[in-house]
Amino acid sequence: QVQLVESGGGLVQAGGSLRVSCAASGRTSSTYTMGWFRQAPGKEREFVAAVAVINWNGGSTYYADSVKGRFTISRDNAKNTVYLQMNSLKPEDTAVYYCAASLRLGSYYVRITAEYVYWGQGTQVTVSS
């Protein structure tokens, strides 16, 4: 089992920045990829970004087109923590952001919600216009 706890959400004005964190505990050695997803009211959960946490993969990162160039995902394997730095935020970025862990690796799998086995409770990010 892997436990995930998100933190760092909040309210920010459009154009501002926010960083959310995800602390993992438990059997983290079994985790290959960590991802961030988000879900806005009335919408399906969607992929935001992911990072490989297996060292031999070199920490490859993946982004949804909607956040590429604005968001940066990073990892600190020593702390078992993954971060999502969000810059140039837009009102349409408003959502609950979820951290997730996958036992898969590779660009084909990282964007698929069903490939993630463990999920955090989510943290609200609200961007005002």
Residue owning tokens 């990162």: 61
**Amino acid 54: pLDDT:** 78
CA angle, residues 14, 19, 24, in degrees to nearest 5: 145
pLDDT in tens, the chain (129 residues): 899 999 999 999 999 999 999 999 998 888 889 999 999 999 999 999 999 887 666 789 999 999 999 999 999 988 999 999 999 999 999 999 999 999 988 888 999 999 999 999 999 999 999
**Amino acid 73: pLDDT:** 97
The conformational region for residue 110 under phi > 0 = left, psi -120 to 50 = alpha, else beta, is: alpha
DSSP run (H or E) holding 4: strand 2-7
- 60: helix, coil or strand? coil
**Amino acid 53: pLDDT:** 85
In 3D space, the residue among 5, 2, 1 whose CA is nearest the CA of residue 82 turns out to be: 5
